[in-house]
Amino acid sequence: MRIPLSALIGLVMTGLFVLSAVFAPWIAPYPIDAAVGKVWEGPSSQYWLGTDTIGRDILSRLIYGGSVTIFVALSSSLLSFGMGAFFGFLAATRGGWIDTGLSRIVDLMMAVPSLIVALVVLSVLPLNLTVLILVMGVLDSTRVFRLSRAVAADIAVMDYVEAAKLRGEKQGWIIFREILPNAMSPLVAEFGMRFIFAVLFISTLSFLGLGIQPPLSDWGGMVRENKDGLVYGKAAALMPALAIAVLAISVNLVADWILQRTSSLKGGRGG
């Protein structure tokens, strides 16, 4: 199997981000919250990406922040996937009032912009990582629900699913052995997309001050801390912004490649 260049770049970059997030304490040249230099120093051999608004090393904070951002985004997308796919498959295979009920609830949730819902909910609830992940996961699960319901509905009408029902198979076999393997590729690609949205979402929330709270830091929060520097021509705020963009593009490249390899939902060995 040949991997196209774009996918290779995506895979390598995503891998680097994940590795640096996991091994942050060993890689980061300075501690996360120590003011080691002067305020807003430019990039130098000592501080590769310069220092921030109170003189902390930006590279170190990026590495530590990345681990928080990626952890929160990954957890919330796993949650949204678990919920969305479970209810989506349930709606598609059961149909009837279960399908109607779930679909209308999702319609209702999607009718209100998720950022607004998140802002309202987070301003009421205590701000900690668990709440953040739960809120983001539930809000995002509506989109996963839509996709998995559509994909599963396509597959659920295939004769082989009917044949399984006629054989007397239980719901579990039908969902996990007949439908899921055929729905995997679009769902995996969608997982990449959801992950990116989660990264953007948590960054937005942190930028607005409702996301990750100090002493923890994440990329959105770093943009917020350093945004005033932009007025004085200091690039500190651009570093975390760039990190968000590069991660989003890298994961996107991988997701694209996975989706491309799926020739069709219904046929073929699926490479």
Partner 1 sequence: MADLLTIKNLRIEATAYPPGEAPRHLVLVDGVSVSVQKGRVLGLIGESGAGKSTIGLAALSYGRGGVRLTGGQVLLNGRDIRAEGAAGLRALRGREVTYVAQSAAAAFNPAKRLMAQVIETSLLHKLMTKEQAEVRAIELFAKLGLPNPETFGRRYPHQVSGGQLQRAMTAMALCPKPDLVIFDEPTTALDVTTQIDVLAAIKEAIRDTGVAAIYITHDLAVVAQVADDILVLRHGKAVEYGATDQIISTPVQDYTQALVSVRRIDHAEKSDAAPILRVQGITARYRGTDFDVLQSITVDVAAGQTLAIVGESGSGKSTLARVITGLLPARSGQITFDGRTLSPDLANRSKDDLRQVQMIYQMADTAMNPRQTVGTIIGRPLEFYFGLKGEAKRARVQELLDQIEMGAGFENRYPAELSGGQKQRVCIARALAAKPKLILCDEVTSALDPLVADGILKLLLNLQAQEGVAYVFITHDLATVKAIADKIAVMYRGKVVRYGQKSDVLAPPFDDYTDLLLSSVPEMKTGWLESVLKTRKMESAGN
Binder of partner 1 out of 51, 182, 226, 250 (CB under 8 A): 182
The answer to whether 118 and 139 have CB atoms below 8 angstroms apart is yes
Q: Which is nearer to partner 1, 96 or 233 (CB)?
A: 96
- 263: contact with partner 1 by CB under 8 A: yes
CB of 263 to partner 1, least distance (A): 4
Q: How many residues bind partner 1 (CB under 8 A)?
A: 24
CB of 95 to partner 1, least distance (A): 10
For the bound state, the minimum distance from the C-beta of residue 256 to partner 1, rounded and expressed in Å, comes to 15
Helix (H, G, I), strand (E, B) or coil at 2: coil
Cα angle value 243/193/11 (rounded, 5°): 60
* Whole-angstrom distance, CA of residue 227 vs CA of residue 240: 11
212 backbone φψ class: left, alpha, beta (φ>0; ψ -120 to 50):
beta
Backbone angles phi, psi at 35, to 5 degrees: -75, 105
Q: Is 126 in the site for partner 1 (CB under 8 A)?
A: no
Question: Could you report how far apart the first and last alpha carbons of the chain are, in Å?
Answer: 9
Pattern 150-169, binding to partner 1, x per CB under 8 A? --------xxx-xx-xxxxx
Question: Does residue 267 interact with partner 1 by CB under 8 A?
Answer: yes
In angstroms, give the least distance from the CB of 46 to partner 1.
Answer: 49
Tell me how far, at minimum, the Cβ of 214 lies from partner 1, in Å.
48
Residues 6+ apart with CB under 8 A from 64: 24, 28, 32, 217
Strand partners, 35: 56
**Residue ranges that bind partner 1, judged by CB under 8 A:** 1, 158-160, 162-163, 165-169, 177-178, 181-182, 261-263, 266-271
